[in-house]
Amino acid sequence: MSALFSPATLRGVTLRNRIVVSPMCQYSAERGEANEWHMIHLGTLALSGAAMLFIEATAVEPDGRITPGDLGLWDDATEAALKPVLAAIRKHSKIAVTMQLAHAGRKASSHVPWDGGQLIAVSEGGWLPCAPSAVPHKEGEAAPLALDTAGLMRVREAFVASAKRADRLGIDGLELHGAHGYLLHQFLSPIANQRTDEYGGSRENRMRFPLEVFDAVRAVWPADKPLGVRVSASDWVDGGWGIEDTLAFADELKKRGVDWIDVSSGGVSPLQKIPLTPGYQVPFAKAVKQATGLPTIAVGLITDPTHAEEIIENGEADFIAMARAMLYNPRWPWHAAGQLGATVDAPPQYWRSQPREQKALFGDISFGQR
């Protein structure tokens, strides 16, 4: 049996294989509300044959959006806008649907990537981002607002409120975005966190707020639904957050009942130097898995089915997350299953698409026609 296509269980959620569709920002929402684009985009990925689909980073408050086009889940309108999208997925796919809850922190109020991706000034229609400290992401940018006690409470409660809405929507699992230089990662990294109170200074203090957010969400998220965290295992900048810090953070999350660690890297500083090679972040996932025993998700330039199979088979990670490669080839899991001699879910409308030499690709099915 293929390791990549073996089943796995996360609390009350059983996954048919180890392929995960990563959360991928689309910058296409209106006032945080999902629309026709999300129906098409997520609907396509829901038919990919992957076991779990992550909805893109979803802002827990308007000021937590990376761009004005970010998806959100902070009020009745944003909640209602997701209902038809999820209903369509549930009707036509068996895929588990997970949502990544996020807050952009000092990287908020940015133009969409195809318009340059730079900070939008308040005078040009942007808003003042908040952060652990009044330290801009990029030299020359306006400083963000350092969160005070009331601000910390507001953000923490925003994560809680969004988690409750996600449960009402029937979302199967949640992931907290603690990576890529966004707010929770900003608290972890000494590059962004220069506080002198109980939320800054030592590693223990810098971990405090992200752990408080995790505890608050876990307390309201149903016990049979999994909750994971995405981390940046390295800032790729001297003096920044590193793998030893990540292992300490993962250990604290394990004590609190985290269900997986989604292991990425970078994003907190434009000075980062990342060696981009296939599977370049897999050693980080392996390190977390070996040190803590927690399920890990490996990400980053994993595009070859044989490579993905080896990562799972060798125990380097428990799941493979696909992002850009899945956009380029939304049927990647089908092709991987064919190559590895496995079966994959597909809607009956597509059953006739399997190649003659791979007649078992969709399992024990029959298709008749007059």
Q: Is residue 363 part of a domain?
A: no
Q: What is the pLDDT of residue 369?
A: 62
Domain-embedded: residue 3: no
Beta-carbon contacts of residue 4 (< 8 Å; ≥ 6 apart): 17, 18, 19, 305, 308, 309, 312, 313, 320, 336, 340, 342
What's the confidence (pLDDT) of residue 363?
81
Are 337 and 320 spatial neighbours (Cβ–Cβ below 8 Å)?
Answer: no
Per-residue confidence (pLDDT) for residue 153, from 0 to 100: 98
Render the burial of 350-368: b for 16+ CB within 10 Å, e for the rest.
eeeebeeeeeebbeeeeee
List the beta bridge partners of residue 102.
59
Q: Does residue 1 fall inside a structural domain? A: no
pLDDT at residue 166, as a whole number:
98
Tokens of 230: 């995405």
Instruction: State residue 254's pLDDT score.
Output: 98
- Residue 221's CATH number: 3.20.20.70
As annotated, the active-site residues are: 182
Residue 364 lies in a domain: no
Interval 240-270: pLDDT, tens: 999 999 999 999 999 999 999 999 999 999 9
Give domain status of residue 229, yes or no: yes
Read off the pTM: 0.96
Q: What is the DSSP string of 162-224?
A: HHHHHHHTT--EEEEEE-TTSHHHHHH-TTT----STTSSSHHHHHHHHHHHHHHHHHHS-TT
| Number of domains making up the chain | 1
Q: Rounded to the nearest 5°, which phi and psi values hold at 362?
A: -100, 15
210: amino acid identity, one letter: P
The two counts, helices (H) then strands (E), for the chain are 10, 12
Q: What is the pLDDT of residue 356?
A: 81
The position carrying tokens 């059953």 is 351
367 assigned to some structural domain? no
Report residues of the chain scoring pLDDT below 70: 364-370
pLDDT in tens, 2-28: 999 999 999 999 999 999 999 999 999
Domain of residue 68, residue span: 8-358
Residue 24 lies in a domain: yes
Give domain status of residue 191, yes or no. Answer: yes
